[in-house]
Amino acid sequence: MALTISCIFNRLVLVIIVSAVIHRPGELSVKEKDAQFTTDRRMIMYVEKDNGSYQPIETGSYMIQNYFDDFLEKKDHLQKSYAEKLRKAEISPIEYYRVLLNMGVSDLAGRVGISTRKVRKHLLPEAFTSIPVKLLQRYAEVFRIPLANLFQLIENREEKVIQQLSTQNPLLVTTKIGGKESERNDIPA
Amino acid sequence: MNETTFQHKLAAHCESGVVTSLLNHSGVDLSEAMVFGVSGAIFFAYLNNPMMPFPTIALRNQPGKIYKNFSKFSKVPFQSNHYRNVEQARQGLDHLLEQNKPVAVQVDFFYMDYVPEYIRAHFNGHFVIVVGKENGHYIISDAYTPVLTKLAESTLHTARFAKGPFKPKGFILYRNAVTPEVHWEKAITRGIKYACFNMLSIPIPFLGARGIRYFAKKLPGWPKLARDEEHLSDEIMMINVLLEERGTGGGGFRFMYAAFLQEVAGRLNKPALNEIAEQMMINGDAWRLISIFAGKIGRNRQLDDAHLRELAAMIEKRADVEKQLFTDLKKIIR
């Protein structure tokens, strides 16, 4: 009996939440006036205009306007927890970057050009040490990081400008710390 | 350089936006909704395969199908080419740009340096239009950016030859020929029939209207697949992103499809399509409520079984509605 009352109560709460979502003015809805968001990221949404026609309008992102802080917080937690696993040698750097870039194992294998089985092996720290440098280079290209970053974590606590510039030597990267934001080279290493 | 004559426009979706822009540039006045509808791109799929780190949904058919189907159904010719290597692809693109032709290219979205880093992800099914070249950079018209933008030459070519699923192989798409007289009624009918077939008749449980039901069935099992609560929250909120933000025009393409149906009701002289358009808009609004609800429970970490089942019930209702909607549409268009 108590369980049934609890279930009914839960459903009631949910109905109230959904109703609030439906009727809250200024929330995302099919009407043009309710689909105006002011984020930097612009996008096209189809809405119902006052004259009843369905037309595209330019607007901003509902998600960024409402949940961007939550997104960044989760991303930060994920990076920190996987960096910690990396420091404790529980995972390999391949797994670290794979998770941060939200890639499937098969997708990564296809992009690097090796079997899924091999990639699974490379996710473990003990197998990482036996990966040939040429193959590590291919992983680094897919992750779009300098090869050196598979062997180091860079913590920028003072929020200085850090540039990693490629050199003619494909194995070597020059890391510049400091300088001005305006001097940043846009082309990644 | 033809970036001065090319009219860059934001679009709801990259591929339909690219096709629309190429058509508009060559003198064919057509809306993005028409391109989307004629190509029969509306769809639903619940995808869970080793390529993906987590199950996901697709709300349109596979990348590359919009221009192919549009051209096939409308008989409007497009020129396209794949290349074996970067050098050939570079020469092919530059040669067309010298002739002042805007050229659509297929790329890996991860290399689009002009979009914020937090939305970049490896996805080989992105389309942009290259409209010019200067000082080692290509001038890019991307449907997701409000103005023309630039991309380093080497970066674009890397993006054109990314490996993995849907690899672009240097794909280009452009228009040469004068557009023949188009029998739009025929093209629209074929596009709608194609969409109805995809939504109703593919005998695979995770595709079409069946796929929506399959999604609803699988959703309560997501906690077992997630690393932790934050991961689950992220994936639940991704439902919102996929429905509203990732180039759908809102409501998982359903609003754009409603705009298409409203537009063609007059052309086909079938007022009943206006009724379906209205129902499609209501359907899109229901998808929007699903995305808002997913955003809220994800943010508030209300990821218990009861909330997930509530979300699943909302989704399952869409399966019934879409099955009915596309059945009615099929009857009208027959």
Mean pLDDT of chain A: 81
pLDDT at A14: 41
pLDDT the model gives residue B4:
59
Residue B53's SS3 state is coil
H or E stretch at B133: strand B126-134
Mean pLDDT over residues B173-193, rounded? 90
- Look at chain A and count its residues: 189
What local confidence, expressed as pLDDT, does residue A123 receive?
A: 97
Give the separation between CA B208 and CA B220, rounded to whole angstroms: 20
Q: Is A1 on the interface with B (CB under 8 A)?
A: no
CA trace torsion A10, A14, A20, A26 (10° rounding) = 140
CB distance B316 to B189 below 8 Å? no
The ipTM is: 0.90
Contact map slice: B 248-307 vs A, CB within 8 A: 249-251, 255-256, 258-259, 262, 277, 281, 284-285, 288-289, 291-293, 295-296, 298-299, 306-307
> Which of residues 146 through 185 in chain A touch B, CB cutoff 8 A?
none
Residue matched to tokens 């499937």: A104
Q: Which two tokens stand for residue B284?
A: 């899109």
How does pLDDT run across B80-125, given as a tens digit for each residue? 999 999 999 999 999 999 999 999 999 999 999 999 888 899 999 9
Residue B109 to residue B118: CA distance in whole angstroms = 12
Q: How confident is the model at residue A30 (pLDDT cuts 50, 70, 90)?
A: low
**Chain A residues 112-151 with CB within 8 Å of chain B:** 112-113, 116, 142, 144
Asked if the model's pLDDT at residue A172 lies above 50, the reply is yes
Amino acid letter, A24:
R
Q: Which residues sit opposite B134 in a β-bridge?
A: B137
Tokens of B332: 């009208």
Q: For chains A and B, what is the number of CB pairs under 8 angstroms?
A: 154
Q: Is the pLDDT of residue B251 over 90?
A: no
Mean pLDDT across B202-231: 96
Q: Which residues contact residue B311 at a Cβ distance below 8 angstroms, ignoring those fewer than 6 apart? A: B219, B236, B239, B290, B293, B294, B297
Length of chain B measured in residues: 334
Beta strands B126-134; B137-141: pairing state: antiparallel
Percent of chain A with pLDDT over 90: 44
Count other C-beta atoms under 10 Å from residue A180's C-beta.
Answer: 7
As a whole number of angstroms, the distance between CA A106 and CA A117 comes to 9
Q: What is the pLDDT of residue A65?
A: 80
Whether A67 has its CB under 8 Å from any CB of chain B: the answer is yes
* A101 interface with B at CB cutoff 8 Å: yes
What's the pTM?
Answer: 0.88
